[in-house]
Amino acid sequence: MKALLVCLYLIGGISFINAQTNPDSLWMADNYVKEEVMVPMRDGVRLFTSIYRPKEGKDHPILLTRTPYSSAPYGKGFRPWWDGHFNEYVRHNYILVIQDVRGRWRSEGTFVNIRPLVDTLQYPEAIDERTDSYDAMEWLVNNVQGNNGKIGVYGGSYGGFYTLMAALSRHPALQAINPQAPVTDWFIGDDFHHNGAFFLIDAFSFFTEQDKFRSSPTSTYNTSSPFPYVDNYDFFLKNGALKNFTTLTGDSIPFWNDLMVDRTYRPWWYERTVTNFLKDLTVPTLVVGSPFDAENTYGGWETYRRMREMSPASPLTLVMGPWYHMQWVRDTLDFIGNIHFPGKTSRWYAEHIEYPFFHYYLLGQGKWEVPNGTANIYISGRNQWHTFPHWPPPDIEHRAIYLRAQQKLSWTPSQESQGESSYVSDPSRPVPYTEGVHRVRTLTYMTDDQRFAARRPDVLVFQTDVLEEDLTLAGPLVADLQVRVSTTDADFVVKVIDVFPEDFSYGDPIPSRHRRITSPTYPMGGYQMLVRGEVLRGKFRKSFDKPEPFVPNQPEQVCFTLPDVAYTFKKGHRLMVQIQSSWFPLVDRNPQQFLDIYNCTDEDFVPSIIRILHNSIHSSKLILPVLSAP
């Protein structure tokens, strides 16, 4: 599915610019030339590179992306840069370069997922994505006709990982980078694990479709699924324990086998997490992402956070808008699923942030007087852009909201000496992550209606009274739960939800042409919108390096941070919290015993009684980043 998203992103979307007054396919064919070259790396491996450059003139900047998802079309055909987001760069005569990374598509060599950095001082002949980026840029500035010696690098999702690797190359020609929803940490928060919990449907779908064996460079690659199921919940439940999926994949997907090792965070995952190495960078950086990105919402926030900490001299800007994965460069739709976000936010981002950023640093045109660390954030719910000097904003107050008896949320803790809520987590009947029947993981589950989950006996629900004034949250949330578990392990899923008024309506239905990602007639009265959801694998509650079992039925603290939110709960709405121990098949099932989950058997899965304590001695709560009205 990710390949489809990236393909759509690169092919285009709804054009931001009227094609009658700007370059189209005929104009580009007349004014650009395409070159396909094999660029040599320091170890002799050659990487396939497509270069689109203006036929005339000089002093053209280079805009480079490196991708594992193909630089097609191969041969004489042009990539449709004129159609959509990249039209602006064609208008300004950028040299547009796209390169197949090592071991993918038409490039030579061996592909390694999230290839770790190597110590090139100790091993000068070694290679990694940093050295490949350096060698590619060195070749481009010395061999591409008409370039001005300035390179910008951009990329979304996996391409964001390669963009950060380009920054680490520290090539002198690199003037600006634009990591978009970058892959950063596949154990803590991106794609395939969140807080140690394995994201089953994304990992299995991605690697069985995208990571098949390639014997030699190729222009064609079968990315179809080898498993023709229709209902993902049914398919993943019937196949049972993770080791059964390893049987399905066989030995054809090396990285899947790497994933099926019961590792802690260090050292294997640490070495493959690019944000651990973003130190002393000086390149201007524009980080883009979304609080509603179902794949890499963590990566954007974390890249910004770590660069502020580790590379304070790097001019840094953050943009977070109300988008699903890569929506900011694909179209100008003003909704996700059933939730409206007015303002043509993708267009606003492109015209006010991205284009001026690259034009200033690569062309020397316009102004870019954005102070270092500035955050441009779309506050959803309020549905307005706001600019903050940094993120989280300086004027937030961390306020505790407490779980109370009778499904209440309160700003004051319970005074009762006894009080708890409980449910039975049964791995044979896990809580779905969304309603309905789907084959692929949906783009929009991060804003989905949670009423289906609230009705289940294995989901706890707590909510405030009707809000008497707006409540804006701006930053990371902390779930601080006091629990008792009847077994030695369990997952904890915490969801923060906006409950709409019963009489709520958007008015006019959404046009039918958008029914592929929303329903024009969905009942919005009482809608329970997921604002933020996150999971923690319980055995990592104290440390990602040293997992520990629960002592059955003994009180324990389970405390973890949820990714940032930028959201206003409007007056007349309610804030709801749901707590559960499965989120399937988004997250694999925890057998609820302290053991090697990747190699356990179907017989190892047992029910667990989960008790959430809310009394004067053991008080469960969430710590909310409350923002005064900007």
> Which phi-psi region, left, alpha or beta, contains residue 382 (left: φ > 0; alpha: ψ -120 to 50)?
alpha
Count CB neighbours of 26 within 10 A: 9
Q: Which pLDDT belongs to residue 43? A: 95
- Phi/psi of residue 559, nearest 5 degrees: -125, 125
Q: Which pLDDT belongs to residue 518? A: 58
Encode pLDDT of 445-496 as tens digits: 999 999 999 999 999 999 999 999 999 999 999 999 999 999 999 999 999 9
For residues 579 and 485, give the distance between their C-alpha atoms in angstroms, rounded to a whole number.
Answer: 14
| Three-class SS state of 246 | helix
Residues in the chain: 630
Task: Look at residues 296, 217, 295, 205 and name the one whose alpha carbon lies nearest to residue 256.
Answer: 205
| Three-class SS state of 491 | strand
For residues 599 and 242, give the distance between their C-alpha atoms in angstroms, rounded to a whole number.
Answer: 7
- Phi/psi of residue 240, nearest 5 degrees: 75, -135
Pairing of strands 46-54, 32-40: antiparallel
User: Is the torsion defined by CA of 128, 130, 136, 138 positive or negative?
Assistant: negative
For range 226-241, the mean pLDDT: 95
Q: With cut-offs at 50, 70 and 90, classify the pLDDT of residue 15.
A: very low
Residues 6+ apart with CB under 8 A from 552: 485, 486, 487, 488
276 burial (CB, 10 Å; 0-12 / 13-18 / 19+) is: middle
Q: Running DSSP on this structure, what letter comes out for residue 449? A: B
Q: What percent of the chain has pLDDT over 70?
A: 94
* β-pair partners for 292: none
Q: Which pLDDT belongs to residue 5? A: 37
Torsion of CA 313, 626, 567, 464, to 10 degrees: 160
Common-topology check for domains 2-184+273-388 and 397-505+522-627: no
Torsion of CA 575, 578, 579, 585, to 10 degrees: -130
Encode pLDDT of 76-93 as tens digits: 999 999 988 999 999 999
Q: Which pLDDT belongs to residue 470? A: 97
pLDDT at 10 over 60: no
Task: Look at residues 490, 482, 614, 577 and name the one whose alpha carbon lies nearest to residue 540.
Answer: 490
* β-pair partners for 63: 96, 152
> Which phi-psi region, left, alpha or beta, contains residue 84 (left: φ > 0; alpha: ψ -120 to 50)?
left
Q: Running DSSP on this structure, what letter comes out for residue 406? A: T
Residues 6+ apart with CB under 8 A from 219: 72, 74, 105, 106
From residue 111, alpha-carbon distances to 45, 125, 158, 216 in Å are: 12, 18, 13, 11
In contact, 279 and 310? CB cutoff 8 Å: yes
Q: Which pLDDT belongs to residue 19? A: 34
Residue 9 belongs to what H/E stretch?
A: helix 2-11
Q: Which residues in 532-568 are b (16+ Cβ under 10 Å) and which e?
A: bbbbbbbbbbeebeebeebeeeeebebebebbbbbbb
For residues 207 and 584, give the distance between their C-alpha atoms in angstroms, rounded to a whole number.
Answer: 19
Q: With cut-offs at 50, 70 and 90, classify the pLDDT of residue 16.
A: very low
| Three-class SS state of 230 | coil
Q: Which pLDDT belongs to residue 521? A: 76
For range 423-435, the mean pLDDT: 98
Q: With cut-offs at 50, 70 and 90, classify the pLDDT of residue 278.
A: very high
Encode pLDDT of 279-314 as tens digits: 999 999 999 999 999 999 999 999 999 999 999 999
Q: Which pLDDT belongs to residue 4? A: 35
Pairing of strands 491-499, 147-156: unpaired
For residues 589 and 608, give the distance between their C-alpha atoms in angstroms, rounded to a whole number.
Answer: 12
Q: Which pLDDT belongs to residue 215? A: 81
In contact, 364 and 352? CB cutoff 8 Å: no
From the candidate CATH numbers 3.40.50.970, 3.30.460.80, 3.30.70.1060, 2.60.120.260, the one assigned to the domain spanning 397-505+522-627: 2.60.120.260
Greatest pairwise CA separation for the chain in angstroms = 80
User: Is the torsion defined by CA of 621, 623, 628, 629 positive or negative?
Assistant: negative
The overall average pLDDT reported for the chain is: 92
From residue 346, alpha-carbon distances to 111, 239, 350 in Å are: 33, 40, 6
2-184+273-388 in CATH: which number? 3.40.50.1820
- CA angle at 600 for the pair 594 and 601, rounded to the nearest 5°: 130
Where in the chain are the domains? 2-184+273-388, 397-505+522-627
For residues 488 and 492, give the distance between their C-alpha atoms in angstroms, rounded to a whole number.
Answer: 13
Task: Look at residues 141, 116, 142 and name the one whose alpha carbon lies nearest to residue 129.
Answer: 116
Distance between the two ends of the chain, CA-based, in angstroms?
38
Residue 410 belongs to what H/E stretch?
A: strand 408-410
Q: With cut-offs at 50, 70 and 90, classify the pLDDT of residue 511.
A: low
Q: Which pLDDT belongs to residue 508? A: 64
Q: Which pLDDT belongs to residue 12? A: 32
- The DSSP result for 121-156, as a single string, is TT-TT---HHHHHHHHHHHHHHHSTTEEEEEEEEEE
Tracing tokens 């940093």 back to the chain, one arrives at: 130
Encode pLDDT of 149-178 as tens digits: 999 999 999 999 999 999 999 999 999 999
- Phi/psi of residue 433, nearest 5 degrees: -80, -20
Range of weakest confidence among 122-126, 550-554, 555-559: 122-126
- Helix, strand, coil percentages, rounded to 5, for the chain: 25, 30, 50
